[in-house]
């Protein structure tokens, strides 16, 4: 049964940015998953009537009755009109630093629940500082990073700590995520977000300091007592018997996981630590792989930092926003992640998190859709107060179940 606290709202869910690359994948998934005549009422929204109509028409008769809403990221009146019609907004309109603020403001002020797929930690921090109080007052639950960044990390850690509490009656304070295998196309939207973050850091020393702070999203009064350390170069991980290299998504994932612990009253412990890295294998070959991966990671960062090099990369190498892998490539994509946790007594746990599609597109679209549906259907207003939340603190086990039942993810204790 749907919760009906806002029975005056016409829709349970609106996909804003439905004509974007990810938005189209998400819309296709919802049509396949829900149809347009289910008990869940939903609509698609974008700024272009022509593009929105073209998208709907592309699905044929099965979507002929799918409602459309015209709204623009920079037109507050249109965003207010959209929010007045729905209980939950799923936003795919990024880079969010360029196009996201006005919608977050509107949702926070109107009490409309909100999910997105941003990986822009500095933008999330800005939105927290500006609109946390408004969201608390209105009851709006603002849940960022509901795609590949950072649901597998955040919900994987949630699962691991649940298992730790069941087996050992305490959480695991020493944790890490390692990427065992991954296959997927480069995300134009993710690249665009990275470029905007680098531009902001280059222009503002305060932003540069923020981007280097692992506790950026935890608030000034966080109670962490042990400094977090990220994987910055080749390292040997004895628990995995493998060399590791930096993981590009760690910059957002670790901040979301650390914020989850802070929001839960340090449920994972005040000495909780977390890092992410990519497994490159044992021995000499693994070491070389870790070194080469680290050099490539650094070269990309340097190339994006300097404007002339960035222009060349954008023109000849990197995908543009709205570009991504073909549907066939999305189906062939996957990811296999391992989360490891240990305590001071020698106990340890391992959780495997897998997904069945291209992580940045096919899988992300399903994760984001199920997060929006979870907020609309499973999480009642009276059960979760408003404010800026993380996937695990907003939805917990209800989201894990949805992801396993409907989104091709598996969270498995090894």
Strand pairing partners for 236?
243
Pairing of strands 42-46, 68-70: parallel
Which pLDDT does position 187 carry in this prediction?
Answer: 65
Q: What strand order describes the sheet that includes 348-355?
A: 235-237, 242-245, 276-281, 174-183, 334-342, 348-355, 410-413
Cβ distance 83 to 330 under 8 Å? no
Please report how many Cα atoms fall inside a 13 Å half-sphere around the Cα of residue 51, on the Cβ side. Answer: 15
Which pLDDT does position 7 carry in this prediction?
Answer: 61
What CATH number should be reported for the domain holding residue 64?
A: 3.40.50.720
- Residue-range definition of the domain harbouring residue 33: 11-148+362-401
Q: Tell me whether residue 6 is in a domain.
A: no
**Range name among 16-20, 33-37, 324-328 with the lowest pLDDT average:** 324-328
The answer on 344 and 297 residing in a single domain is: yes
The predicted-structure confidence for 310-351, as pLDDT tens digits, reads as follows: 788 777 777 776 677 778 888 889 999 999 999 999 999 999
Q: Tell me whether residue 386 is in a domain.
A: yes
The predicted-structure confidence for 59-116, as pLDDT tens digits, reads as follows: 999 899 999 999 999 999 999 999 999 999 999 998 899 999 999 999 999 999 999 9
Q: Tell me whether residue 3 is in a domain.
A: no
The answer on 197 and 104 residing in a single domain is: no
Q: In angstroms, rounded to a whole number, what is the distance separating the alpha carbons of residues 140 and 137?
A: 8
Q: Tell me whether residue 414 is in a domain.
A: no
Which pLDDT does position 364 carry in this prediction?
Answer: 95
The answer on 379 and 336 residing in a single domain is: no
Global pTM value:
0.94
pLDDT at 197 over 80: no
Q: In angstroms, rounded to a whole number, what is the distance separating the alpha carbons of residues 340 and 318?
A: 33
Q: How many domains does the chain have?
A: 2
Q: In angstroms, rounded to a whole number, what is the distance separating the alpha carbons of residues 71 and 77?
A: 9
The answer on 134 and 213 residing in a single domain is: no
3-state secondary structure 372-390: HHHHHHCCCHHHCCCEEEC
The answer on 377 and 336 residing in a single domain is: no
Q: Tell me whether residue 412 is in a domain.
A: no
The answer on 144 and 227 residing in a single domain is: no
Q: In angstroms, rounded to a whole number, what is the distance separating the alpha carbons of residues 274 and 230?
A: 8
DSSP-derived 3-state class of residue 245:
strand
Which pLDDT does position 1 carry in this prediction?
Answer: 36
Which of 384, 413, 382, 407 lies closest to 396, judged by CA? 384
Question: Which structure tokens are listed for 317?
Answer: 């190498």
Question: Which structure tokens are listed for 149?
Answer: 């960044």
The answer on 336 and 191 residing in a single domain is: yes
Strand pairing partners for 182?
335
Question: Which structure tokens are listed for 90?
Answer: 């799923």
Question: Which structure tokens are listed for 133?
Answer: 């109080």
The answer on 345 and 282 residing in a single domain is: yes
The answer on 161 and 43 residing in a single domain is: no
Pairing of strands 141-143, 348-355: unpaired
The answer on 161 and 280 residing in a single domain is: yes
The answer on 379 and 271 residing in a single domain is: no
Cβ distance 80 to 92 under 8 Å? no
Q: Tell me whether residue 282 is in a domain.
A: yes
Q: Tell me whether residue 406 is in a domain.
A: no
DSSP-derived 3-state class of residue 225:
coil
Cβ distance 141 to 384 under 8 Å? yes
**Which percentage of the chain shows pLDDT scores above 70?**
96
The answer on 237 and 204 residing in a single domain is: yes
């Amino acid at each position: 049964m749907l919760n009906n606290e806002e029975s005056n709202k016409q829709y349970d869910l609106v996909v804003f940015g439905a004509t974007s690359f990810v938005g189209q994948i998400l819309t296709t998934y919802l049509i396949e998953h829900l149809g347009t005549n289910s008990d869940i009422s939903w609509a698609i929204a974008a700024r272009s009537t022509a593009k929105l109509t073209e998208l709907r028409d592309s699905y044929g008769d099965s979507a002929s009755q799918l409602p459309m809403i015209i709204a623009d990221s920079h037109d507050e009146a249109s965003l207010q009109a959209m929010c007045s019609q729905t209980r939950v907004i799923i936003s795919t309109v990024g880079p969010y630093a360029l196009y996201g603020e006005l919608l977050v403001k509107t949702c926070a002020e109107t009490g409309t629940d909100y999910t997105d797929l941003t990986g822009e930690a500095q933008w999330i921090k800005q939105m927290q500082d500006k609109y946390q109080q408004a969201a608390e007052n209105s009851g709006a639950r603002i849940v960022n990073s509901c795609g590949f960044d950072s649901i597998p990390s955040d919900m994987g850690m949630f699962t691991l700590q649940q298992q730790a509490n069941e087996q050992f009656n305490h959480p695991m304070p020493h944790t890490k995520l390692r990427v065992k295998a991954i296959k997927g196309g480069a995300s134009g939207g993710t690249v665009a977000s990275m470029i905007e973050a680098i531009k902001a850091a280059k222009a503002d020393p305060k932003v540069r300091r923020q981007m280097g702070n692992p506790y950026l999203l935890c608030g000034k009064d966080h109670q962490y007592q042990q400094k977090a350390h990220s994987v910055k170069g080749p390292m040997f991980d004895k628990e995995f018997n493998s060399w590791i290299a930096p993981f590009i998504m760690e910059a957002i994932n670790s901040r979301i996981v650390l914020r989850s612990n802070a929001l839960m009253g340090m449920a994972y412990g005040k000495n909780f630590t977390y890092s992410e890295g990519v497994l490159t294998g044992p021995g000499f070959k693994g070491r070389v792989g870790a070194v080469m991966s680290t050099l490539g990671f650094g070269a990309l960062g340097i190339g994006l930092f300097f404007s002339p090099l960035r222009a060349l990369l954008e023109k000849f190498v990197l995908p543009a926003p709205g570009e991504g892998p073909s549907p066939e490539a999305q189906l062939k994509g996957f990811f296999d992640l391992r989360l490891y946790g240990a305590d001071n007594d020698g106990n340890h746990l391992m959780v495997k998190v897998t997904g069945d599609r291209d992580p940045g597109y096919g899988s992300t679209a399903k994760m984001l859709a199920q997060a929006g549906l979870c907020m609309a259907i499973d999480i009642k207003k009276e059960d979760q107060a408003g404010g800026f939340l993380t996937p695990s603190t907003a939805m917990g086990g209800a989201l894990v179940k949805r992801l396993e039942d409907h989104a091709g993810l598996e969270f498995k204790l090894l």
